[in-house]
Every structure is written in structure tokens, then in C-alpha cells.
Structure 1
């Protein structure tokens, strides 16, 4: 499998990082970008693709995007929040804290 992560945002800054294998979407991370803040709402991978590190690939793509655009991240998504809490030193520069 050669999964590609893509970010699609509408003109209001709502969208998602998606991961696909060819034309089949395997997962998505729902986000909103507004006022230098990237809010992550939900991460989901389809059942047949679970356990393959796809959520981590989307997390890495989101983190790279946030850093390259000087955004803070508000991790409302339980998966992203857990990763930020588990590895605070890795994400300290991005973490907007807990609301």
C-alpha cells in the first residue's frame, strides 16, 4: 500500500486530512483552521485499515502542516489529545493547551 495524505480545506478553513490508497479513502482527520489555530475534531480510520499506523501518518502530516504555517493546535480529538499528552516534548511548540 502506498498511502497518500492530503489536506482539503474549504474557504472557511473547514476540512480534513485524508489518507487514501489509490482512489479509496482509508481515513480522515477533521480539522478547522482559523486565526492561527488548527482545531482537530476527529480522527477515523476504516476498520479494514486499522492497526497500520495510518492515524499516525495523518497526525504527522497535520503536525508538519501546523509547523510550516505557524499554527497552534487545539486537539479536541481524543486520539490527537492522547498523542500530545503522551509525547508533550514532541508537540510542546504546537499545543494550544486544553480548553
Structure 2
């Protein structure tokens, strides 16, 4: 089962997502706040995939994206915020 996180950007918004066998199983949405920040506003994982780490994988991909593009993340989504609270290594992008 391929659970690679993908990214789609459309104008000033975008989302990280995981497709499994052609079906979207998880999504984390964000909006750009200027050129140097994104706001993560929602994370959703299909119920049958809860507990498989899909949410954390998407936050990890968002952190990598932020580091590569020299931008900061504002985690308004409660799930994303909880990951940032637990993973000290991600705080450099806050």
C-alpha cells in the first residue's frame, strides 16, 4: 500500500493528501498568508485509516515543504497543532 504524501497548490491555497489505490484517504488543507507563511486549517483522515499515522505523515511533509521554501507554518488545525506540540524538531518552521 503506497501512502506517499502528495501536494496540490491552487492559487493561494493547497492541500497535502494521501491516495491509496486511486482513492483519497487523507487530506490536510492550508492557505498562504502572504509569501512566507502557510496556515494549516484542517486535517481529515477517512475513519478506516485512523491510527495509521496518515495525519502525522502530512504534517511531516508540510514541515519539509516549509523548510525547502523558507516559509513558516501557523497550525490553526487542532490536530496539526498537537503534532507541533509533541515534535520538538518541527518547531523551527513555526
TM value normalised by structure 1: 0.87
Where do 5+ consecutive residues of structure 1 fail to align? none
1:22 maps to: 21
Q: Secondary structure at the match of 2:30?
A: strand
Aligned residues: 93
Where do 5+ consecutive residues of structure 2 fail to align? none
Question: 1:17–1:58: 8 Å Cα contact kept in structure 2?
Answer: yes
Structure with a larger share of its residues in helix: 2
Root-mean-square deviation over aligned CA pairs: 1.1
Question: 2:56–2:83: 8 Å Cα contact kept in structure 1?
Answer: no
TM value normalised by structure 2: 0.91
1:50 maps to: 50
- The list of structure 1 runs, each at least 4 consecutive aligned residues, that deviate by more than 3 angstroms after superposition, is none
